Structure 1
Amino acid sequence: MLSNAVLLAVFGLVSIVAAQSSSSVPAAQVTHVVTVHNNASATNGTSVFVPQVVNAALGETVFFNFTQGNHSATQSTFAAPCIPAHESNSTINGFDTGLRPAGNGTSVTSFVVVMNPDIVNKTLWFFDQTTCGIGGVGVINAGNVSATLETIDGFVRNAIRLNGTGATSSSSASSSATGGVGSGTTTGSDGSQSSPSSGNTGAALALPVVPAAAVAALMALGAALVL
């Protein structure tokens, strides 16, 4: 028959673990997956990014999954859709994956933009260096713009009208914010992260940390059993 010391230790441990699992384990992080693959036709690049428009809140992530073809996800501005943002506006340190040759699913890589407080209230226009001139563009949080004329349709028209001018300058090709294909996970000042990926794209759930009181309860239980 278990002694009183053993019972107290067990009940104390159960209470502590129950409190931890109900209050300390964060909810699963919301991840918006944007599949990046070949355009539907030689004259239409609007299906390179699927979906083309993403709405993401604070703390959520936008996961670019490069699965086919040779494409990039490069931040730009509405007025200059096919030019890297930092080249048309030096105050913007935009994200840039560089070209990611994924083949036909043989070299899948990923790139993550974390919606931190610095960027969550901004509209993040982006383009593909390969197909920008035929509409290969997209946007994160288009609803945050103050000028209602800045729409995804207008952005596509701008890209096609400018025919990709300046989309693949030598400086942007050599200064990718997170390195090229096969680089390890890195985090840029714009909140972006990049890494090779061929497995699960969801965010991992954090495990609860067992506090010192729980450890003490376990030690008491062990001592009681020995006695």
Structure 2
Amino acid sequence: MHGFMTPVSLALVALCSALLASAKTMTIVVGGNGTNKDASLIFQPQEVKAAVGDFVVFNFTNGTHSAIESTFAEPCIPAHDSNTTLNGFYSGLRDTVNGSAQTTLVVEIKEEDQNKTFWFYDIWGCGKGGVGAINANDSDWENFDAFVRNAKRLNGSSGGTSSSRTSTGRPTNSQPVPTSTGTGNSAERVGANTVKAISIFTPFLLAMFVA
């Protein structure tokens, strides 16, 4: 009857609700240590594990830093520059002095990323170990510790990259989201935006399955 949902419709709505509830937002603070003396502190934490549908938020809080996707073989070079088939996320340098002009870079883990490791680095700190990873396989030889060793071995202790190649501001598969300098948590903002988008979409979903 019109106005009632069939069991199949109810099941689909329940599935969508479950997927929304299971999605997580995790934050990597960039430059929160306030110094480059220990490059391993540029990204906190350096490693995260994220499932399909999750969001990883790079929250730039202090200093001048970047979050740039690379490859395992070339840790301190933008992914696209070492492999033209890749369109890695690229923040560029974010100048956040004394906590002002804070911004975020949001990376969504999509279905095609299910078995992928995202390797990333900071321009100034890469050669000193200022790198990180999303979903690194700890049991594989291409693990996070090996990535750190690669960055230091290939780029020395100078901190920067050893290559003159630079990114050309290419499109990315991430969503750079500028934020205000207010006290709101960036992860909360991303979550709110996600819920808002789903809430807009839900009436259309329901209308499709009303018998």
Is the structural similarity TM-score above 0.5?
yes
Aligned positions of 1:47-196 closer than 5 A:
47-143=41-137, 148-161=140-153, 162-163=155-156, 164-166=160-162, 169=165, 171-172=166-167, 174-175=168-169, 177=171, 188=172, 190=173, 192-196=174-178
Percent of aligned pairs sharing the same letter: 45
3-state secondary structure, aligned to 1:158? helix
3-state secondary structure, aligned to 2:152? helix
| Higher mean C-alpha displacement, 197-206 vs 123-132 | 197-206
Instruction: State how far apart, in whole Å, the 2-side matches of 1:71 and 1:167 are.
Output: 18
Tell me if structure 1 keeps the 8 A contact 2:36–2:125. Answer: no
Q: Aligned partner of 2:144: which letter?
A: I
Instruction: State how far apart, in whole Å, the 2-side matches of 1:42 and 1:121 are.
Output: 32
Q: Aligned partner of 2:107: which letter?
A: V
TM-score of the two chains, using structure 2 as the length reference: 0.73
Q: Aligned partner of 1:197: which letter?
A: T
Instruction: State how far apart, in whole Å, the 2-side matches of 1:95 and 1:133 are.
Output: 19
Deviation of 1:166 (Å): 3.7
Deviations 1:147-185 (A, max 9, x none): 82212111112112223434674x31x4154xxxxxxxx
Which runs of 5 or more structure 1 residues have no equivalent in the other structure?
1-11, 13-18, 178-187, 213-227
Instruction: State how far apart, in whole Å, the 2-side matches of 1:41 and 1:73 are.
Output: 16
Tell me if structure 1 keeps the 8 A contact 2:91–2:105. Answer: yes
Tell me if structure 1 keeps the 8 A contact 2:34–2:62. Answer: no
3-state secondary structure, aligned to 1:142? coil
Instruction: State how far apart, in whole Å, the 2-side matches of 1:66 and 1:49 are.
Output: 10
Deviation of 1:120 (Å): 2.7
Instruction: State how far apart, in whole Å, the 1-side matches of 2:176 and 2:141 are.
Output: 32
Instruction: State how far apart, in whole Å, the 2-side matches of 1:90 and 1:112 are.
Output: 22
Tell me if structure 1 keeps the 8 A contact 2:70–2:78. Answer: yes
Which runs of 5 or more structure 2 residues have no equivalent in the other structure?
4-9
Instruction: State how far apart, in whole Å, the 1-side matches of 2:105 and 2:40 are.
Output: 19
Higher Rg of the two aligned structures: 1
3-state secondary structure, aligned to 2:148? helix
